[in-house]
Amino acid sequence: MTHMASAGGDTSADNVGSTGGRTVAPRPYRLADVPGPLARDELAAIDAWWRAANYLAVGQIYLTANPLLREPLRAEHVKPRLLGHFGTVPGLNLVWVHANRAIRQLGLNAVFVAGPGHGGPGPNACGWLEGTYSEVYSHIPQDAAGMGALFRQFSFPGGVPSHCAPETPGSFHEGGELGYSLLHAFGAALDNPDLTVFCVVGDGEAETGPLATSWHANKFLNPARDGAVLPILALNEYKIANPTILARIPEPELLSLLRGYGYEPIVVAGDDPAAVHQAMATAVDTSMERIGRIQGAARDGADGARPSWPMIVLRTPKGWTCPPVVDGDQVEGTFRAHQVPLPGARTDADHRAVLEQWLRSYRPEELFDDDGKPVPELTAQVPVGERRMSANPVANGGTLLRDLYLPDWRDFGVEVTAPGATRHEATRVLGGWLREVTRHNPDNFLTFAPDELASNRLQDILEVTGRNWQAEIDRRDQKLDRGGRVIEVLSEHMCQGLLEGYLLTGRHGVFTCYEAFIHIVDAMFNQHAKWLDASSAVPWRRPIPSLNYLLSSHVWRQDHNGFTHQDPGFLDVVLNKKASIVRVYLPPDANTLLSTYDHCLRSRHYVNVVVAGKQPQADWLSVTEAAEHCARGIGIWPWAGHGDEVGTMPDVVLACAGDIPTLETLAAAAILRERLPDLRVRVVNVVDLMRLQTQDEHPHGLPDSEFDTLFTQDRPVIFAFHGYPWLIHRLTYRRTNHDELHVRGYRERGTTTTPFDMVMLNDLDRYHLVMDVIDRVPSLRERAAGLRQEMVDARWTARAWTREHGEDLPEVADWNWPYQRN
């Protein structure tokens, strides 16, 4: 550890003593003569950039006009609502300018991740100084008018948000919900050997769970194959109203923590700009030198022992360079500088005067020429073209996207001679294909799992790769590999966050998870879906690969694990997001799963949620049939119904979505066919849940006419559904026949049981579905009363059996479709 603490300077503070209700402006500072790697000119230039970026940030927060202060600041120049967080901005700008120095000196290919919340003014300012902002937004040129537009649009109606967002050039990380910066940074670095990610982690963000565990992402970063992440912990000590934990533990304890996470921290601390610039330059130089050494050794074939990566602890005042005292309260260096230091600038003449002094303290006249353009001293510091972090294509991953080579999924399908004649573990079959996807795409496809890859039956992937593991490997361990293409870590947050970082930078992947526990990342899914949505409207962004979930170990096969493992509600969360972004698929067997996943890996800019079983289940559709059925997304299975010829109208529709509901529906259809042979039964299977919505709700929505053709306008529909039943009502409430739609699905009443008992608990079993048909088809009520009672009895028999034997009645467990295809 190198501790680079500068002497505390008072360059930015006026008299802070007993100020009563005074508001004190910061004084312009001159750079002290501090020794370090920066020559006097270079120090001055770097500080000029920093001042320029800080000036532009303050301007964004406060001004709608008069950007260069060419006239005295008046109330109407100040925004009516003051938004954005200044507190973290000077730190972000400091890292940016020092990263630029390293980029220029070392020819780095680098991107920037801004973790702290609402720090958007910083990267916006840097992007404008680098010219990128003007290149991607023609209405914001690099001149006085453009500066005015840059200021005005910030957190203004129709403008840009207060944090980094899709609109921010060079950002692939949204700064809205905190906790994911480091995961996105590491995800970007995977398979990007030449990339350096400067990742600023806020000390508030560092308190979140996802961030706290994501330091361990260094256990999955291969120095030979992957790029580097330089975490910069921005220790400005305060959140909105509180100090941060990491700022209020002794520094040795903090360094012990960071070393325990596997980093070698370098501390840069101080409040004197010159001293901090010199210390930061040294810290970045040292970090780059260490990264180079680590990567060099690994790429020269060293043994691959996990290195201790450098990181920087940047301890500078909150709101550094802002007014030190406002209305008598210390502001700079306290929580009061977190948001907007001078809240009364529009209405309070004193505040406004101090705001003007504050802005002038950055000496804008030295930074921008008469036209408002950055002076040559600033532009000389801008890296060339795509080396600018604001213009790096890595942050606009769609531009770098390479299609996956996908072997024909049909070659991996199972042979289906007759419906139900064979059984397969659907995800296991998928795993065979994913193995080849992994093999053929060795540098842009990864699979993530929270210790559930094999549990979800995707282990065939491990025939061509291992699990990525940079930590120690013991002889008892299996399938660990420094170059592994599977990342397993018992953190859904890490799986999701690393994959997001990988996707956002243009590569492809799959996240497989137990269905119930995917709720752990509900919030991350929400934010990613919002990114996809918002970025679709940003003209210079290109679509990125879809986020693909494979949820298995699903609710209907968690009987033995019990209630805690039963939750199909992620679908409800997903369907709250913009219809243009989300897709939900429930393939009923192995071949439909293959076809579905092939589609998902070819898609762009979606979130694809696929729920599939891992237990041996009957195969229903051949490869050819699966391809057609999945292309339709929904359809009649004519071989499963009866009396349902073209041109006739069924007496009842049995609909199903999900593998277990499909099984139970077919078993019910078989009972009806045997016992009520004159009843016209139609079986409809739904793979693509979005087909149920209307066309104006979702692009996949079936036209009403087609929906009515499938589901009739007035016949009872018994719908067996994988998830919570009301989701089907929500999707279909506008459909003609909705009043006749009766849904069976999961409700919160699970317990420790067997598979069929679990289904019975939720009235989704074959016997209950037959009872539902009898109850809903008026003509059956009397004549099928005997059959109905048989069904009731069959359920009690099945239940009693499970309680005695601990497994399902053989005639249920071994049931198979008893007919040939029509």
**CA of 351: how far to CAs of 323, 354, 357, 444, in Å?**
10, 5, 10, 53
Return the range that interacts with its own copies (CB under 8 A); candidates 24-32, 78-86, 288-296, 588-596: 78-86
CA dihedral 386, 391, 394, 395 (to 10 degrees): 170
Q: What distance in Å separates the CA atoms of residue 599 and residue 595, rounded to the nearest whole number?
A: 6
Query: Element (H or E) spanning 59, and its range?
Result: helix 40-62
Contact 117, 146 (CB under 8 A): no
Closest approach of its own copies to the CB of residue 467, in Å: 6
Position 786, amino acid? G
Among residues 226, 356, 425, 452, the one that binds its own copies under rule CB under 8 A = 452
Give the nearest distance from C-beta 523 to its own copies in angstroms. Answer: 4
Per-residue contact track with its own copies, 630 to 649, x per CB under 8 A? --------------------
- CA dist 545 and 535 (Å) reads 13
Per CB under 8 A, contacts with its own copies among 262-281 are 262
Query: Which 8-state DSSP code applies to residue 777?
Result: S
* Selection from 253, 250, 230 nearest residue 311 by Cα: 230
By CB under 8 A, name the one of 299, 402, 604, 805 that touches its own copies: 805
- Residues 412, 814: contact at Cβ < 8 Å? no
CB-nearer residue toward its own copies: 66 or 622? 66
CB of 215 to its own copies, least distance (A): 8
Q: Confirm or reject binding of residue 463 to its own copies (CB under 8 A).
A: no
CB of 191 to its own copies, least distance (A): 21
Burial of 512 (0-12, 13-18, 19+ CB in 10 A): buried
By C-beta, is 3 or 402 nearer to its own copies? 3
The interface region with its own copies, picked from 14-22, 41-49, 656-664, 749-757 by CB under 8 A, is 749-757
Applying CB under 8 A, among 348, 350, 708, 807 the residue interacting with its own copies is: 807
Cβ closer to its own copies: 161 or 501? 161
Alpha-carbon span 164 to 364, nearest angstrom: 24
For 63: left if phi > 0, alpha if psi spans -120 to 50, otherwise beta; the answer is: beta
Cβ proximity to its own copies: between 282 and 526 the closer is: 526
Q: Does 481 bind its own copies (CB under 8 A)?
A: no
- Closest distance of CB 262 from its own copies, Å: 6
Nearer to its own copies, 263 or 639 (CB): 263
CA–CA gap between residue 398 and residue 111 (Å, rounded): 15
CA-angle at 746, arms to 744 and 748, nearest 5°: 130
Considering only residues 527, 536, 603, 694, which one is a binding residue for its own copies as defined by CB under 8 A? 527
Q: Among residues 75, 245, 384, 649, which is the contact residue for its own copies, using CB under 8 A?
A: 245
* Tokens found for residue 411: 């070659």
Closest alpha carbon to 176 in 499, 493, 529, 502: 529
Q: Is 229 in the site for its own copies (CB under 8 A)?
A: no
Site string for its own copies, 110-149 (x = CB under 8 A): --------x-------------------------------
Name residues contacting its own copies, limited to 326-355 (CB under 8 A).
330, 333-335
Note whether 415 binds its own copies by CB under 8 A: no
Distance CA(166)–CA(138), nearest Å, equals 17
CB of 3 to its own copies, least distance (A): 16
- Strand ranges inside 515-558, DSSP E: 547-552
- Least distance from its own copies to the Cβ atom of residue 512, Å: 13
Give least dist CB 351 to its own copies, A: 18
Residue 306, Cα to own-chain centre: how many angstroms?
27
Torsions phi, psi for 360 (to 5 deg):
-70, -20
The least distance separating its own copies from the CB of residue 798, rounded to whole angstroms, comes to 11
Name which position in 3, 74, 402, 730 contacts its own copies (CB under 8 A): 730
Q: Looking at beta carbons only, is 302 or 649 nearer to its own copies?
A: 302
**654 backbone dihedrals φ, ψ, rounded to 5°:** -100, 115
Relative orientation angle of helices 121-129 and 89-106, to the nearest 10 degrees: 40
Asked whether position 421 contacts its own copies by CB under 8 A, the answer is no
Phi/psi at 500 (5° precision) = -55, -45
Shortest CB 529 distance to its own copies, Å: 8
Residues 500-519 contacting its own copies, CB under 8 A: 516-517, 519
Which long-range contacts does 692-700 make (Cβ < 8 Å, 24+ apart)?
A: 692/634, 692/728, 692/731, 692/732, 692/735, 693/579, 693/731, 693/732, 694/734, 694/735, 697/579, 697/734, 698/579, 699/579, 699/580, 700/583, 700/633
Which of 8, 21, 209, 810 binds its own copies (CB under 8 A)? It is 209
Among residues 51, 101, 239, 722, the one that binds its own copies under rule CB under 8 A: 239
Residue 21 buriedness (CB in 10 A; 0-12 / 13-18 / 19+): exposed
Residue 207 sits in the site that holds its own copies (CB under 8 A): yes
Alpha helices in 300-384 (DSSP H): 349-361, 364-367, 376-379
* Least CB distance to its own copies at residue 83 (A): 5
Give me the least distance between CB of 176 and its own copies, in Å please: 2
Contact pattern for its own copies over residues 483 through 502, marking x by CB under 8 A: -----xxxxxxx--------
Question: Site for its own copies (CB under 8 A): which residue of 5, 404, 473, 538?
Answer: 473
- Spatial separation of the C-alpha atoms in residues 182 and 531, rounded to whole Å: 17
> From the list 806, 811, 818, 820, which residue makes contact with its own copies (rule: CB under 8 A)?
806
Residues 144-203, interacting with its own copies (CB under 8 A): 155-163, 165, 174, 176-179
- Closest to 124 (Cα-Cα) out of 194, 54, 21: 54
Work out the angle at residue 779's Cα, subtended by the Cα atoms of residues 776 and 780, and round it to the nearest 5 degrees. 65
Binding its own copies (rule: CB under 8 A), the pick from 10, 194, 451, 793 is: 451
CA distance 722 to 689: 11
Task: Please state, in angstroms and rounded to a whole number, the distance separating the CA atoms of residues 27 and 361.
Answer: 6
The region of 88-96, 287-295, 419-427, 448-456 touching its own copies under the rule CB under 8 A is 448-456
Task: Please say which residue, 553 or 591, places its beta carbon nearer to its own copies.
Answer: 553
Binding-site string for its own copies from residue 559 to residue 588, where x marks contact by CB under 8 A and - marks none: -xxxxxx-x-x--xx--xxx----------
Which pair of tokens denotes residue 158? 């129709």
Closest separation between CB of residue 249 and its own copies, Å? Answer: 6
Span near its own copies by CB under 8 A; candidates 13-21, 208-216, 601-609, 767-775: 208-216
Is 216 an interacting residue with respect to its own copies (CB under 8 A)?
yes
Number of chain residues interacting with its own copies (CB under 8 A): 124
